[in-house]
Chain A
Amino acid sequence: MTPDETAFNALMGVLVIPAVAAVLLAVLPNYRATARLNVAATTLTLLCALSLFFAKPAPGVYFLVDDLNNTFIVLTTFVGWTTSMFSASYIGHELDIGRLTPRSVRFYHAMYQVLMFAMNLALIANNIGLMWVAIEIATLTTVMMVGIYRTHEALEAAWKYFILGSVGIALALFGTILVYMAARPVVGEGLNAMVWSVLVTRAGSFDPALLDVAFVFLLLGYGTKVGLAPLHAWLPDAHAEGPTPISAVLSGLLLNVALYALLRFKMLLAANAAALAPGPLMVALGLLSLLFAAFMLYRRRDIKRMFAYSSIEHMGIITFAFGMGGPLANFAGLLHMTMHSLTKSAIFFAVGHVAQVKGTQRISDMSGLTVTHPLLGWGLILGVIAIAGLPPLGIFMSEFLVVSSTFARAPLLALILVFGILVAFGALLLRLNSIAFGEPRGPVGKAQASYVPMFTHLALVLVAGIYMPRAVVTWFQNVAGLLG
């Protein structure tokens, strides 16, 4: 095999492995075996994704791997891998207490792999139509998983998510069609006019007005999936009512994938001098999400719902950073995205087990966690401290970079940003106090938890906050440069 063929096989690996695993998991009956198979499949996918660092296949009409999406793929497969380990113990418990039946677990595992497949496909797609299809599949699978408990609340959350998500992707498709219309007179009819790597080299001569309208639709469409206010209404419900591993991948990964799609189109617009600057739109939506979510955090009584709002807040910060653009802000945005994915999924790992041992998601019923379940309690504390942006953890550093790069260019925006971050910080610490300390409440039974995924993520975030290896910094700088 030539090196290019090997690289192409690795690329196919990130698609074929989840697809095959999905079929197997749908038919195999034994829960313990399938949970292991799920972990094995995500491990293999992660290895394939990692190998792309060393050799990338040449871009084709359908697939493209560059440094930008390589970062996203590795992050996605890594969090997918750790979540599958968490999921094994979480789902085991749900089976024991009878919230899930063996049949729905089979369905759950198959859907988990289909979701991995769809996210990887969206990330490596070079064709903007294919990318849209992949994001649509990812949405539909998560809809089904959100509704898996079949309770009243879960059904309503899934329905809401389905309707809003569909409207979002419908708008995104309209935007995609408009991009094709803009490209057709320049690139010519047919497949090439939807290939991103072709589009980006020729975008300079596209009709700017058409591109502008297209971007507005794409921003609204994919922005719904990113969870940007005021299009976020589905997000808290979907996070609160689905199984917790799904909340972890939704927050940690799917929002990123939608943002990635948006970034690709942003690069397209940036290549056309006459088109409108996409930055200010993203900055405005990002700030709006940040402020909105920060204030909403104060009134949360459900723990998963609270962290869902925190995801809106952080996606707002990330969108803001990418909207500002430039090497430093892009670097900060990428770093913040990575740190948020790791931290937020770690928090959901902790929250999932906490909700299981306490038998509830109400914040007021789970106080005194450090006394009843020290390991879970301190894990959660560490996670919340990280997500609130306290030093020396990674999110502090990335938020600091976002703020300081903004201060240099737009001090007024930076003030709003800092205000939003501080408001959210206050809300999180307030809640943390009542959850972690105070009088112990609720059952004190022993937790059957998998601590490894949670502490792995938190350790990575801690290390990134204290010391970033030179190679990693160079890599992120390189990717930030690509984003323009």
Chain B
Amino acid sequence: MSGIDFDIAHLFAGSLVLVSFLELYQDRLYALLNVYAAHALVLAASVAWQAFIQDAPHLYVTAVIALVFKAIVIPVTLHRLIVRLGIHREIEKVVGVGAAMLAGIGLVALSMVVMLRVTQTADPLAREDLAFALAVVLLGLLMMVTRRNAVSQVVGFMSLENGLVLAATGAKGMPLVVEISVAFSILIAFIVIGIFLFRIRERFDTIDVQALDRFRGERR
């Protein structure tokens, strides 16, 4: 593999981690959705590049799905949903921006240490991709636990899935079955979430998960 191919793939994967950090400190829903769209855009570029250098045309399908579905359809739909439901635009966080960023840096360091150490025999592109992918996955998880708002938890989950797609496309020659399933699962997940949002709206006037927290199971 020539140097430039590797560098570009590296650049995209690294950018994905960077955009994950951007998501981490957004405190308004619209801004968060925009950043998520950028996240998906970077993913699409990264997957397309992998398709090109691996000479694996089926990966272009994954790239198109990322571009159309994740970068355009989902953010637009969620945006409309927020307008229609009149949700609070501010995101309530469990921990402050500073603490979340520090935790994020820690997680990225952790994934580098873990993945680079165990994949010494794998080819360099795949192993760095995996390290970045794990970082994106962990940052997505972090976002889910530091937010209280249902929409931003969902965005956290979707960026987590982006990390998985990055890992799956970085693993050279991984059967298409899995790529489709990843894309498909996002679709299903989104439908489920849509139903949930509407159902929650049906009964209550907020989708702030905290407002649903009255129930602790034993006290009633």
Contacts and interface: CB of A to CB of B under 8 A. Distances in A.
Interface of A: 127, 129-130, 132-133, 136, 140, 143-144, 147, 150-153, 155-156, 158-159, 162-163, 166-167, 170-171, 173-174, 176-178, 180-181, 184-185, 189-191, 193-194, 207, 209-210, 212-213, 236-237, 240, 299-302, 305
30 contacts: A129-B177, A129-B178, A129-B181, A144-B192, A144-B195, A152-B204, A153-B217, A159-B196, A162-B193, A163-B144, A166-B157, A167-B157, A167-B160, A170-B160, A173-B178, A174-B137, A176-B178, A177-B167, A177-B174, A177-B178, A178-B130, A185-B122, A193-B175, A207-B118, A207-B119, A210-B118, A213-B115, A213-B118, A299-B218, A302-B217
Contacts of B182: 173
Interface string B184-205: 1100110011011001101110
Given A127-B177, A180-B174, A140 B188 contact: yes
Contacts of A237: 217
Interface in B112-151: 114-115, 117-122, 126, 130, 133-134, 137, 141, 144, 150
A373 to B, nearest CB: 24
> Which 7 residue pairs are nearest across A and B when measured between Cβ atoms?
A189-B173, A209-B118, A129-B178, A133-B181, A156-B212, A191-B175, A177-B167
Contact of A240 (B195, B204, B209, B217): B217
Given A129-B175, A132-B181, A173-B168, 18 more contacts: A136-B185, A143-B192, A152-B204, A155-B199, A158-B196, A159-B196, A159-B200, A162-B192, A166-B189, A174-B167, A177-B164, A178-B130, A181-B126, A184-B171, A189-B172, A193-B174, A213-B118, A237-B217
Contacts of A207: 118-119, 121-122
Contacts of A155: 196, 199-200, 203, 212
B161 interface: yes
B46 interface: no
Contacts of B199: 147, 150, 155
A212 B204 CA distance: 45
Interface in B155-171: 157, 160-161, 164, 167-168, 171
Contacts of A171: 137
B134 A147 contact: no
Contacts of B161: 170
A22 B171 CA distance: 36
A158 B212 CA distance: 12
B153 interface: yes
* Interface size of B as a range: 35 or more
A152 B204 CA distance: 9
Interface in B66-87: none
Contacts of B126: 181
Contacts of A130: 177
A118 to B, nearest CB: 12
Contacts of A136: 181, 185, 188
A152 B215 contact: yes
Given A147-B199, A153-B215, A301-B218, A209 B119 contact: yes
Nearest to B195: A144
A478 B109 CA distance: 46
B209 A159 contact: yes
A178 B131 CA distance: 11
A210 B204 contact: no
Contacts of A236: 217
